Amino acid sequence: MVKNDRWIREMARKGMIEPFSENQKRDGVVSYGVSSYGYDMRIGEDFRIFSDSGSPFVDPKKFDPACFTEFRGEVCVIPPHSFVLAMSLEYFRIPRDVLALCLGKSTYARCGLVVNVTPLEPEWEGHVTIEISNTAPVAARIYANEGIAQLIFIQAAEICDISYKDKAGKYQAQKGITLPKI
């Protein structure tokens, strides 16, 4: 069952989302905060911009951090046909009976930006590492401390046998931008 704004507010009071924003609409800002059936998370000020490291490919099993240039600021420019990694401003603690799915915001999608986040599994916690791809033939800007994507919380009919925390997942309690791990 998809959870509503009342449930999200109650769970935020119990520590599911920190910091939590009650309001969503703001003038001159990409919206963030609680919505009818989701939560629009913000993007932080730290970015890893993909750059040519001289390697002919990217290998998730032998990932070279030199593939990224670190950047911190209010506005990040994504080169054409490239991507950046960033992190959510919010820290999430997902309940054992909930799975959260993430969808990019339409404001950025209409500019050719695609947001990718894997599901937030039951009992996962941490800052969300976010991948933003620029499919446009020109550079694109994204704005720190503003909305980037919406999380939809789905409550299971039954509790899972093994949660992300139980299996000691490699991305548990991540802080900051987390690069691929094997």
Q: DSSP class of residue 157? A: S
* Distance, CA of 132 to CA of 142 (rounded, Å): 9
* Distance, CA of 101 to CA of 72 (rounded, Å): 27
Residues classed as catalytic: 131
- Let me know if 14 is exposed, middle or buried by CB neighbors in 10 A (0-12, 13-18, 19+): exposed
What does each C-alpha distance from 101 to 1, 2, 16, 120, 158 come to in angstroms? 13, 10, 15, 7, 18
* Distance, CA of 178 to CA of 9 (rounded, Å): 28
Retrieve residue 11's tokens.
């769970």
* Distance, CA of 177 to CA of 182 (rounded, Å): 16
With contact defined as beta carbons under 8 Å apart, do 152 and 38 qualify?
A: yes
